[in-house]
Structure 1
Amino acid sequence: MTRLVLAHDYLVQVGGAERVVAEWAAGFGVGRVVTLAYRAESTFDAFAALDVQATIPASMSGQVERMLPALPAIAARTRVSGADVALVSSSGWAHRFHFDMPHVVYVHSPARWLYAADDYRLRLSAVRRAGLTVSTPILRRGDAEAMAGATAIVANSAVTQARIRVAYGLDSTVVHPPVEPVAPDAIPPGRELPTAFAVVVARDRGYKNVSLAIEAARAAGLAIAVVGAGSEALDDPGGGVHGLGRVSDAELCWVYRNAAVVVGAGREDFGLTVLEAALEGTPAATVAAGGYLETVRSGVSGAFAASATVGDLAEAIRVAQGVDPEGVREWGRAFRRDAHVARLASLIDEAVERA
């Protein structure tokens, strides 16, 4: 039986990539993950049951994103061994690890800090932006060399597949991420929400475009719940905005299940949250771009906005609310974990045979 080890950039947040790794651990029955940093209190509880091997000391795990200048070297010194093959989850770092075995890299996105500067650098100080600009050519060369060393490359969407080709000149195979209900039980969040509300799930990232989602919900006559780290700063119940911050999976399940619609306004490589909501029968209203073109089917699981404007997204919110919930659930079930694991297992076997 093939021994599998997982690798991931860093486990310090609650995001789509981290949820994929948690699903891999369950779907493949793997108990070990190699990563740059691990912060148990700020990521998924599922990792507490695994053997997580982190390179960066726990005392520094909360500062990992501030360690950017040193991360390429730290990643290169992170050794992955003790298995027949590694399944690697990367948004910029894990494919740079040192692998003692064949490794299949599952790319969520080529590193935004290198290839999508407008998305990433807005969050940096002027000094750090200047430093990153100067060092980008060297960092890109090292990044490309590391990706070229992969035994096989898998993209999470057609959007990412195209970005991989542009960034690295390499081919990849698309396998959509696994999507399971976020929790077996639904528990109301610690604060009361209106009877009718929209929801947007997004961490504090400029490319998530949360402000557009908020304004569109208001224009559609709905309050909106904003879920994700940093969303507390947006809290304005009098204005119809409920910034819930980070919530438990059970609370997120309740929010998905009770929302009138989930809103997607950002530039997504895949768009996992709209499928998590779909499994609860909640339709999506999104911009017609990026990964949403693969995770939403107009008239079946939701509606697309004609343009990324408040008025058009508001109209999509109104239309999406009329979609049949059972059709939405059926759409979501097509992305369940079993199909994902079977497809990925086949690609892993092929990669091991070629190695």
Structure 2
Amino acid sequence: MPEIVLAHDYLVQCGGAERVVAHWASAFGSRTLYTLAYSPQGTFDQFRDLDVHPSIHGSLTAQVERLLPALPAIADRTVVSGGDVALVSSSGWAHRFAYQMPHVVYVHSPARWLYAASDYRMRLSPMRRAGLWASTPLLRHGDREAMRRAASVIANSVVTRDRIREAYGLDAEVVNPPVEPVAAEARAPRHPLPDAFTLCVARDRGYKNIGLAVAASRVAGLPVIVAGSGSEQLDRPEEGVHGLGRVTDAELAWLYRHADVVIGSGREDFGLTIIEAALEGTPAAVVPAGGYLETVSPGVNGFHAGSATPEDLAVAIRAARELDPVASRTWARRFGLDAHVGKMSRVLEEVVQRA
């Protein structure tokens, strides 16, 4: 196996993309990781054992997303060296780094602020929204040039493959993310919780559409637990909404195991949480779009709603509660780490041989 250097946009949160990179570090024995910003307390503990090279330091680390106008230039000047090949996790920036070796880009999504602007700009002030709109043509030009420098481009799902083709004019192979149980032991959160509940695992981002999950749970007659950074702002137990904020992996495992149904209500490119829940025997009720079309097998580990409305999603919630936990676990195992590593190893070795 060649020596593999890792790269990722920025390590400041506990999201699905960060979990994928953590799996890579362990599976490929990688010790070096390049990124724009690194907050050890804000992301998974596994990265503490790596030699992490951030381009942004100090107090600016916590404000990395607010540095959007400067990020293209910072990314372009982030030099990645050492190793035989770089494995790049990107949803916007890491593919722009200056690689001194062949590199493979694993795309979680083409940059939302460039190619799915309605998802991203809703979080910006009117002034920043106008600035992004004006600079989009130039940003897209640089983004496309950077992606075309990759030795190979991999998509995390079929929907991402289609978006890559539309954004960059490139054909990408699909390799689904590795999904393993989030923790060996489960621990109940220190928060009074109902006996029966739906679960929505999502950071408080507009495209996650947490409001739909809350509304659908209410129609289905179940309280909802929301876990993820920022969700503590939604905590209204008297209204059947329990916002826990960021939880540990052990607490997340407990929530997966005890939830009646996990809800997928956002615009996801894959949706790791659906498979993580299925590994614990918990079915899903999801909107009929994006990565959920791959991660949910109707009648096996969940159901797609007839439409993205609270009423139709509630129908899917009620139906999912009747599914067999064993079938959910069996379905989820096909997305395991071994299958992912086997496919990615082949791609990496082919790239090194061509170099």
State if a TM-score over 0.5 links the two structures: yes
1:319 aligns with 2:302: no
Q: Which amino acid aligns with 1:152?
A: S
User: How far apart are 1:86 and its partner, in Å?
Assistant: 0.2
Q: Which amino acid aligns with 2:41?
A: E
Gaps spanning 5+ residues in structure 1: where?
A: none
Given that 2:6 and 2:32 are in contact with CA atoms closer than 8 Å, whether structure 1 keeps it comes out as yes
1:185 aligns with 2:167: no
Distance 2:349 2:2 in 1: 9
How big is each residue's C-alpha offset from its partner over 1:197-256, in whole Å with a ceiling of 9 and x where there is no partner?
Answer: 000011111111100000101111111100111111111101110000000010001001
Structure 1 runs of 4+ aligned residues shifted over 6 Å read: none
Distance 2:106 2:84 in 1: 17
Q: Which amino acid aligns with 2:258?
A: N
Distance 1:182 1:263 in 2: 17
Tell me which residue corresponds to 1:133.
133
Tell me which residue corresponds to 1:107.
107
Tell me which residue corresponds to 1:300.
300
User: How far apart are 1:350 and its partner, in Å?
Assistant: 1.3
Given that 2:213 and 2:264 are in contact with CA atoms closer than 8 Å, whether structure 1 keeps it comes out as yes
Number of residues paired by the alignment? 355
How big is each residue's C-alpha offset from its partner over 1:141-176, in whole Å with a ceiling of 9 and x where there is no partner?
Answer: 000000000000000000000000000001100000
How big is each residue's C-alpha offset from its partner over 1:36-88, in whole Å with a ceiling of 9 and x where there is no partner?
Answer: 00001111111111111111013321000000000000001101101100000
TM (norm. structure 1) is 0.99
Q: Which amino acid aligns with 2:347?
A: L
TM (norm. structure 2) is 0.99
Distance 2:353 2:320 in 1: 46
Tell me which residue corresponds to 1:204.
204
Percent identical pairs in the alignment equals: 65
Distance 1:288 1:297 in 2: 11
Tell me which residue corresponds to 2:341.
341
- Tell me, what secondary structure is at the counterpart of 1:123? coil
Report which stretch shifted further, 84-93 or 58-67: 58-67
Given that 1:154 and 1:173 are in contact with CA atoms closer than 8 Å, whether structure 2 keeps it comes out as yes
Two-structure CA RMSD over aligned residues (Å)? 0.7
1:5 aligns with 2:5: yes
Given that 1:37 and 1:54 are in contact with CA atoms closer than 8 Å, whether structure 2 keeps it comes out as yes
After TM superposition, list the pairs within 5 Å mapping 1:48-127 onto structure 2: 48-127=48-127
Given that 1:264 and 1:286 are in contact with CA atoms closer than 8 Å, whether structure 2 keeps it comes out as yes
User: How far apart are 1:192 and its partner, in Å?
Assistant: 1.9
Distance 2:122 2:293 in 1: 26
Distance 1:90 1:182 in 2: 22
- Tell me, what secondary structure is at the counterpart of 1:263? strand
Distance 2:101 2:33 in 1: 15
